[in-house]
Amino acid sequence: MNLTTGQPFWLTERGLGRYPVLDQNITCDVAVVGGGITGAFLGYYLTRAGLRVAVLEARYFGSGSTSASTAMCQYELDEDLSNLRQQVGVKRANDGYLGNLYAVHALARLCREELPDDCEFEYCRSFYLASTKADVPHLFEEGEARRGIGIECVFLEEQELHARFKLKAAAGLLSGDTAQVNPYKLTHTLLQAAQANGLQAFERTPVQRYTPDADGPGVTVQAGSEGQFRIRARHIVVCTGYAAAELVPQDIVNLHSTYVVSSLPGQAATLPTGTAQIWETARPYLYTRVTADGRLFVGGRDEVIKNSTFQHAVLNHKTDKLLAQFQELFDADTPCTPDFAWGGVYGETSDGLPYIGQHPDFPRAWFALGYGGNGTTYSLLAAEIIRDALTGREHRFAHTFEFGR
C-alpha cells in the first residue's frame, strides 16, 4: 500500500534509517506489527518496562504515513469538544481532550528529559479560526466548553485578530498547550534508544498472519515475504493503521488523502503569528506549522479516497490551491515559495477518536490505531495504555479509546 506521494520533507532531509531483516525464528514477550511512529513509541515504552520486544516493519521504518505527517501536536481534536460530547457522551469527550492535553506535555518530557535528542520538539501556540461569520457563535461556545474542563484558551474577535496578528478571520480561539516535533527523527530516536535496552527491530519483514495458541496464553506470528519465519510471543500489538487490512478490524475507518507544501527555509520568519499553528472550522480545513529551520508547512485539501493510489498529477493542482488559500489568511506580505510538496494517507473514524485496546474478534491481540489528525499524541497514549495493561496496571485513559464505544 502506497501511503505517500511526491517528496515528503522529513524523509528527504534525513534519508532511510536502516535495520536488519528477520532471518530466523525468534521469541519475545511482545511482537509489535508496524514500524511507524506508533510502533516506535511502543518499542520504547515496552522495553523500558522490562519486556522483550520485536518490532516488525513490512518496508522501512517511518517511511509510510509518519514521513508525511506534519506532527502538529495539539490537545485539540478534529471534532470540536461541544460536538464530540453529543456523539460519545460528556465524559468520553472530555477525556479525549484531556488525554491529548496530557500527551502533549508527556511528549515534552520525553523529548527534553529522556531521549538523547529533542527531535526538534518545540512548544507553540495555535489559532483555531472561524472560517465564516456563521461559525462565530459556535466557536465562542467551544471556548467556553474547553475552559470548563480546565483548558486555557482565549476567544479573539475579528478586530483583535487583525490588529495583533494581521489575520483575516471572523473570530478565533488562541490556545497554548500545543507543540510540534520532527516525527521521522523522533521515530528513529525512539527505536535506537530502545535498541540499547534490547529492542529487536526488523525492516522489510511483513507479517502475514498470527495464530493464538489453542491451549496457552501466547501467539505465533508468521513473518517474512512468505511467512517463513515464526515469532513466538506472549502478546501481539498491531499498529499498522490501514496498511494490513487482514490484521485490523474492518469498517472502523475511512481513508483520506491530505496534501502539504513546504516553503523555503527561513520564510516563516515573516509570519505575524510567529511559530503558532493555524487551522480553521471549515471541513476540510487548512492547517499550518513552522519547522525548526523556519520553513512553513501549509496543508489541507483533504478528500475521501477508496484506496491509497494517488494521482500524482493532482499534487501540483493541490499545491497551487493550498498556497492561494494560505495567502488569503493574512492581510500582510507572507512569502511562501514552494520547496517540497507531498501527499499522505490518514484514517478517520466516525467520532474522530482512535482505537486503542483489544477487540473481541482478535484473541490475544492489542491494537494501537491512531486514526485522526492527532497521530503523534494518540501514538504516545497508545504506548502508555498498552504498556500499563501488559504490566498489570490501568491507565487513566484506558477506556477512553476502546472498541465498542
For 121-141, the pLDDT digits (tens) are 999 999 999 999 999 999 999
Q: In terms of pLDDT, which residue wins out, 310 or 207?
A: 207
Cα 192 to Cα 64, 69, 146: the distances in Å are 18, 20, 38
Task: Give the span between the Cα atoms of 246 and 242, in whole angstroms.
Answer: 9
Task: Give the span between the Cα atoms of 102 and 93, in whole angstroms.
Answer: 14
Q: What is the pLDDT of residue 255?
A: 83
Q: In terms of pLDDT, which residue wins out, 5 or 117?
A: 117
The answer, yes or no, to whether residue 243 has pLDDT greater than 70, is: no
Average pLDDT over residues 23-31: 98
Contacts of residue 320, Cβ cutoff 8 Å, sequence gap at least 6: none
The segment(s) of the chain belonging to CATH 3.50.50.60 are 4-68+184-251+352-390
Average pLDDT over residues 380-403: 98
Task: Give the span between the Cα atoms of 6 and 99, in whole angstroms.
Answer: 33
pLDDT digits (tens, 9 = 90+) for 144-184: 999 999 999 999 999 999 999 999 999 999 999 999 999 99
Secondary structure letter of residue 22 according to DSSP:
P
For residue 277, the tally of other CB atoms under 10 A from its CB is 24
For the chain, the average pLDDT equals 94
Q: What is the pLDDT of residue 118?
A: 98
**Using CA of residue 369, residue 371, residue 376, residue 378, what is the dihedral sign?**
negative
The segment(s) of the chain belonging to CATH 3.30.9.10 are 254-348
Structural fold of domain 4-68+184-251+352-390: FAD/NAD(P)-binding domain (3.50.50)
Query: What pTM value is reported for the model?
Result: 0.95
The answer, yes or no, to whether residue 25 has pLDDT greater than 60, is: yes
Q: Which band of pLDDT confidence, cut at 50, 70 and 90, is reported for residue 79?
A: very high
Q: What is the pLDDT of residue 96?
A: 98
> Among 348, 378, 375, which Cα is nearest to 256's?
348
The answer, yes or no, to whether residue 222 has pLDDT greater than 70, is: yes
Q: Which band of pLDDT confidence, cut at 50, 70 and 90, is reported for residue 312?
A: low
Angle between helices 81-88 and 136-148 (to 10 degrees): 70
The answer, yes or no, to whether residue 2 has pLDDT greater than 90, is: no
**What is the SS3 string spanning 172-198?**
EEEEEEEEECCHHHHHHHHHHHHHCCC
The answer, yes or no, to whether residue 5 has pLDDT greater than 80, is: no
Contacts of residue 226, Cβ cutoff 8 Å, sequence gap at least 6: 208
For β-strands 53-56 and 200-202, DSSP reports them as parallel
Q: Which band of pLDDT confidence, cut at 50, 70 and 90, is reported for residue 345?
A: confident
Q: What is the pLDDT of residue 41?
A: 98
Q: What is the pLDDT of residue 385?
A: 98
Q: What is the pLDDT of residue 307?
A: 58
Task: Give the span between the Cα atoms of 23 and 82, in whole angstroms.
Answer: 51
The answer, yes or no, to whether residue 71 has pLDDT greater than 70, is: yes
- Beta bridge partners of residue 209, listed in sequence order: 222
pLDDT digits (tens, 9 = 90+) for 275-311: 999 999 999 999 999 999 999 999 998 887 765 555 5
For residue 87, the tally of other CB atoms under 10 A from its CB is 14
For residue 31, the tally of other CB atoms under 10 A from its CB is 27
What's the grid cell of residue 274? 510567529
Q: Residue 47 is which amino acid?
A: T
Task: Give the span between the Cα atoms of 161 and 357, in whole angstroms.
Answer: 42
> Among 264, 232, 302, 261, which Cα is nearest to 78's?
302
Q: Confirm if 286 and 298 have CB atoms less than 8 A apart.
A: yes
The CATH homologous superfamily of the domain defined by 254-348: D-Amino Acid Oxidase, subunit A, domain 2 (3.30.9.10)
pLDDT digits (tens, 9 = 90+) for 32-56: 999 999 999 999 999 999 999 999 9
Q: Confirm if 287 and 70 have CB atoms less than 8 A apart.
A: yes
- Beta bridge partners of residue 355, listed in sequence order: 369
pLDDT digits (tens, 9 = 90+) for 320-341: 999 999 999 999 999 999 999 9
Secondary structure letter of residue 201 according to DSSP:
E
